[in-house]
Amino acid sequence: MITLEFKTYGKLPQFSAIDEAIRTAQFVRNKCLRLWMDGEAKTCFDLNKYTKVLAEEFDFADKLNSMARQSSAERAWAAITRFYENCKKKISGKKGYPQFQKDCRSVEYKTTGWKLAPDRKSITFTDKHGIGRLKMKGTRDLNFYQPEQIKRVRLVRRADGYYVQFCIQVDRNEVIEPTHRTIGLDVGLESFYTDSLGNKVENPRFYRTGERKLKKSQRRVSKKVKGSSNRRKARTHLGKVHLKISRQRKDHAVKLARCVITSNDVVAYEDLRIKNMVKNHCLAKSINDAGWYQFRVWLEYFAKVFKRVTIAVPPAYTSQQCSICGVIVKKSLSTRTHICQCGCKLDRDHNAGINILNSGLGTVGHTGTFALDASNASGDVTSTLVGVIQSGQVVSMKEESHAL
């Protein structure tokens, strides 16, 4: 499943109709959630049937397409299911009890309620809200996909306008030549990551860079009278600044993750718990600004696309352990150089990157470096010595590990 996004262009009454549809979707979701809280809904099918009752009871709910109402009910059930799963896993802290939505920004249609133009450059919404025909502009071409492959259509409201998203059912697989290289990544705040070869990638710090504009925009909002049109304009400007920062962070994560995956056959990284790390109020802003989790998500996504191997390694003692002799060398965060009694002297993050790579290779039952052949789906790997590229040595790991 892939998602394609296009900017929409229309008239002011059309955008007002989109806002009304979004508010209706929020209303349906919250009513379904209340039905579950009252104990009258046990399954997702109960919520879907309840959407028909809402359409009969409220005229504005009947304006929304029936499948769009069902999508809102499914959103409520997704929150309920996530809460149940967290309870079963017995995670520490809050379990994520479903909350009523106060600021919904999207409405989702299924296979009805919309119609694409023959040239695929505009879309018409046919429900009773009267959204009508919207022009679309984007960098992707919908002509590559059949209408039957489009399973969801979303209308999304953002600070800089309205967008339409198409969820297309297609398997994205790309075949590239194996590089016969492995790498271990140690993410940090001083540099975005340091690999097992000692290479560093600069931390862009998008939030820190744009913080001056954010503060200025926030002061403008605070000075305006609540409920006035000037305050609404100031809030829109503030939202655009936040939106730019989030897009910069996502673009950096996508491009960097793709580069790492296409340049290496095996990538090992730390299995960090970002939720626990941001509890440190001294580092929370810098950790959120770095976007480690988003980078990891795109790493795993591109690994599936290009048939590469990614290994999540427990982060315990990766910075303290010596990569040569294995002795634990205690050091504070301010100590940036690893010095061991065995004579090893490395940058702290470089040493951690080597430990992450060794630990990752150890989890698959192998002590050397290895590269997975992208054209070999059976799990055979190419084994070489550390630092040596030799594609002639081949050993099968089918019986050694089933983690691949």
For the stretch 141-152, pLDDT in tens is 888 888 888 999
Is 68 in the same domain as 196? no
Residue 109 lies in a domain: yes
- For residue 254, give the 3-state DSSP assignment: helix
pLDDT at 148: 87
How far is the C-alpha of 56 from the C-alpha of 40, rounded, in Å? 18
Residue 231 lies in a domain: no
How remote is the C-alpha of 373 from its chain's centroid?
A: 27
Is 189 in the same domain as 133? no
Q: How confident is the model at residue 365 (pLDDT cuts 50, 70, 90)?
A: very low
Is 73 in the same domain as 28? yes
Task: Supply the DSSP string of 44-85, one letter for each residue.
Answer: HHHHHHHHHHHHHH-HHHHHS-HHHHHHHHHHHHHHHHHHHH
Residue 296 lies in a domain: yes
**156-167 tens-digit pLDDT:** 999 999 999 999
Average pLDDT (251-263) is 93
Residue 360 lies in a domain: yes
Share of the chain above pLDDT 70, in %: 90
Residue that the structure tokens 């969801």 belong to? 152
Q: What is the pTM of this model?
A: 0.79
Is 331 in the same domain as 192? yes
The total number of structural domains that make up the chain? 2
Residue type (1 letter), 225: V
Task: Supply the DSSP string of 168-185, one letter for each residue.
Answer: E-------------EEEE
- For residue 125, give the 3-state DSSP assignment: strand
Is 332 in the same domain as 188? yes
Q: How confident is the model at residue 240 (pLDDT cuts 50, 70, 90)?
A: very high
Decide if pLDDT at 68 tops 60: yes
Residue 256 lies in a domain: no
Is 26 in the same domain as 155? yes
Is 161 in the same domain as 274? no
pLDDT at 364: 59
Let me know the angle formed at the C-alpha of 348 by 344 and 353, rounded to the nearest 5 degrees. 95
Decide if pLDDT at 311 tops 70: yes
Q: Under a CB-based contact definition with an 8 Å cutoff, are residues 373 and 178 in contact?
A: yes
Cα torsion 281, 282, 284, 287 to 10°: value is -160
Q: Which domain holds residue 136?
A: 2-168
Is 95 in the same domain as 190? no
Number of Cβ atoms within 10 Å of the Cβ of 310? 21
Residue 27 lies in a domain: yes
Is 194 in the same domain as 119? no
Is 161 in the same domain as 309? no
Decide if pLDDT at 346 tops 60: yes
- Among left, alpha and beta (phi > 0; psi -120 to 50; other), residue 164 is beta
**194-225 tens-digit pLDDT:** 888 888 999 999 999 998 999 999 999 999 98
Decide if pLDDT at 397 tops 80: no
The CB-side HSE value for 249 (13 A sphere, CA atoms) comes to 23
**21-59 tens-digit pLDDT:** 999 999 999 999 999 999 898 899 999 999 999 999 999
Residue type (1 letter), 155: L
Residue 133 makes CB contacts below 8 A (sequence gap 6+) with 10, 117, 122, 123, 124
Is 115 in the same domain as 47? yes
Is 53 in the same domain as 128? yes
Residue 400 lies in a domain: no
Residue 218 lies in a domain: no
